[in-house]
Amino acid sequence: MGRKNSFYGWNLVGVLWLIYLINIGFVFYGSNVINTSMTQELGMSRKTLGAGFALFHLIQSGLSAPLIAFMINKKGVRFTLAFGSLLTAAGALSMATFVSSPVLFLAVFGIIIGFGIGFGGVLSVQTGITFWFEKKRALAMSIALTAAGIGGFMAAPVLNTLISSMGDNWRIAWFFIAGLCSIATLVSLLFVKNRPSDLGQVPDGESAASRSADDNNTKQGHIYRTTREWTTKEALKTTSLWLIFIAILGFLVPYLFCVSHGVIYLIDSGFPRSLAAVSLGLITLFSIIGRLIGGVLGDHIEPRYMWGIALLVMACGVLSCMFARSPVFVYLYTIFVGIAFGASFIMMPTVIGNYFGTHAFASIMGVLSPLFTIFSSSSPFVAGVIRDLTGSYTIAFVSAILFCIAGAVAIIAVRPHTEEGTKAASA
């Protein structure tokens, strides 16, 4: 009886936060520190290092999404997180013991750990939050997803200190990662609960009577939340979902352009290397603030409006970088881009969950993720080509700003599809 009376959802947020801290904060961000030391010791080329990270990013951010959605739907969030964490632990153990060539590096880090972080990362965490929360979905999402930024700040100094203290032995750091991911596996198995119904509870911990009253007033309040469970096929036929897709590109394309070329652009513009380098860390820091702002306000203000505002703020940030002539503009750039990315990152799953329900959430993300990953991941390459051909980043900056504006217009144009209007909307 005690378990049923005490809502488990907020406990789950803490559990998911810890798992996300390990799998994304330490493995995703910390691996850069380890792999840099590895590259230097093994004499691998920068091309191999870049190819490994590109393969890793492509798999964990996009190509694994359909498989993750399938596993969530068949086995649940708990099994998926545990499987991903265990796979990452096995990959980290392999990196620590026998990886010593470019081929093994690509196979283990790029593919095995890439899939591990995919299964044990953002889609599984977002789905778990979507299942457990409706009215407090944005707040719960923001709290859980701050773990990546916090872990990113912790990982680099912790792993760097560990490697240095062990005589520059980078393999020790991979043993450490393997241990952390083993902990994440156990935590997933012991403490993750797939749905509120597993404990005889309902989303947000509300009574059935309260939820029934809220359902009757869902479309009358400030926040739209669908009262039906959509199928993936139905959702993919709506205009709204593809407008949301444009909004996703509206923050991912400019963000990846900024993090990949922002530092070197600022150096080219005459700023000290120290200031240019710290700009990337500041963007990560302010993204945490953006996630919290999105979480606090996203349950009280229609999330698509907040998302539209965030995209316009990101446009201002990109513009500040483009015309940066003093440190003030650099700081404005990091503040605007960081906060806008953080807020947009929270609004994306919140809007999809609000408009299409929990049943199809994982499958919808499983379809969209490979598409927006391929589009957004190409932006650093395209920007580099533009710079090499024209000798300037101007066209790349203007294009990034246009993506922000197009995304803002698209998300503001999203309209709810009622059950009665589904056929007409998708015709």
Supply 338's token pair. 């960081």
Q: Which is higher by pLDDT, 50 or 8? A: 8
Using the 8-state DSSP alphabet, how is residue 426 labeled? H
Output the average pLDDT for the chain.
Answer: 87
pLDDT band at 60 (very low <50, low <70, confident <90, very high): confident
Nearest Cα neighbor of 131 from 361, 419, 364 is: 361
* pLDDT of residue 24 exceeding 80: yes
Q: How confident is the model at residue 47 (pLDDT cuts 50, 70, 90)?
A: confident
Phi, psi of 419 (to 5 degrees): -60, -40
pLDDT at site 331? 96
pTM above the 0.85 mark?
no
Query: What's the chain's length in residues?
Result: 427
The count of C-alpha atoms lying within 13 angstroms of the C-alpha of 220, restricted to the half-sphere facing its C-beta, is 5
DSSP 93-132: HHHHHT--SHHHHIIIIIIIIHHHHHHTSHHHHHHHHHHH
Q: How far is CA 403 from CA 56, 245, 329, 412, in A?
A: 25, 12, 21, 14
Question: In whole angstroms, what is the distance from residue 130 CA to residue 356 CA?
Answer: 11
Q: What is the pLDDT of residue 411?
A: 96
- Per-residue pLDDT, 2: 43
- Give pLDDT, residue 410: 97
Average of per-residue pLDDT across 128-138: 91
| DSSP-derived secondary structure letter, 29 | I
pLDDT digits (tens, 9 = 90+) for 196-240: 999 999 998 865 445 554 544 444 457 888 888 899 999 999 999
Give the integer Cα–Cα distance in Å for 121 and 27.
Answer: 10
- The mean pLDDT of 374-399, rounded to a whole number, is 88
Query: pLDDT at position 5, please?
Result: 63
How sure is the predictor about 303, in pLDDT bands with cuts at 50, 70 and 90? very high
Which positions ≥6 away from 217 have C-beta within 8 Å? none
- The residue written with tokens 């606090």 in the block is 296
Q: Which CATH number fits domain 2-199: 3.40.140.10, 1.20.1250.20, 1.20.1340.10, 2.60.40.1120?
A: 1.20.1250.20
pLDDT at 426: 38
Q: Whose CA is closest to 368, among 144, 61, 72, 20? A: 61
Instruction: Give the per-residue pLDDT at 420.
Output: 39
- pLDDT of 406 > 90? The answer is yes
* 134 vs 54, higher pLDDT: 134
The span from the CA of 111 to the CA of 97, in Å, is 17
pLDDT digits (tens, 9 = 90+) for 319-362: 999 999 999 999 999 999 999 999 999 999 999 989 998 888 88
Comparing 34 with 95, which gets the higher pLDDT? Answer: 95
Average pLDDT over residues 253-281: 86
Q: What is the DSSP string of 309-374?
A: HHHHHHHHHHHHHHT--SHHHHHHHHHHHHHHHHHHHHHHHHHHHHHHTTTTHHHHHHHHHHHHHH
Over 90: is that where the pLDDT of 318 sits? yes
Closest to 108 in 3D by CA, of 96, 97, 95? 95
**Taking residues 237-261, what's their average pLDDT?**
92
What percentage of the chain has pLDDT greater than the value 90? 55
User: pLDDT at residue 181 above 50?
Assistant: yes
The pLDDT value recorded for residue 91 is 96
Distances (CA, A) of 200 to 9, 197, 206: 12, 5, 12
Residue 37 corresponds to which tokens in the numbers above?
Answer: 């030391």
**In Å, what is the CA distance from 217 to each residue of 130, 300, 330, 416?**
20, 15, 45, 15
Per CATH, 2-199 and 217-426 having the same topology is answered yes
Here the tokens at position 321 are 């970088």
The DSSP symbol for 61 reads: I
Alpha carbon distance 310, 304 (integer Å): 10
The helix/strand/coil state of 43 is coil
Q: Is the dihedral of CA 416, 346, 117, 334 positive or negative?
A: positive
pLDDT band, residue 71 (cuts 50/70/90)? very high
Q: Which of 38-52, 170-184, 214-228 has the lowest mean pLDDT?
A: 214-228
Q: By the 8 A CB rule, do 350 and 135 touch? A: no
Mean pLDDT on 384-396: 90
- Taking CA atoms, 61 is separated from 149, 180, 203, 376, in Å, by 17, 21, 28, 11
Report the range of poorest mean pLDDT among 32-41, 113-122, 139-148, 235-244.
32-41
Residue 79 pLDDT greater than 90, yes or no: yes
* Domain boundaries defined on the chain: 2-199, 217-426
Q: For the chain, how are helix, strand and coil distributed in percent, rounded to 5? A: 80, 0, 20
Average pLDDT over residues 79-93: 97
Please indicate whether residue 200 or residue 277 has the higher confidence score (pLDDT). 200
Homologous superfamily of 217-426 = MFS general substrate transporter like domains (1.20.1250.20)
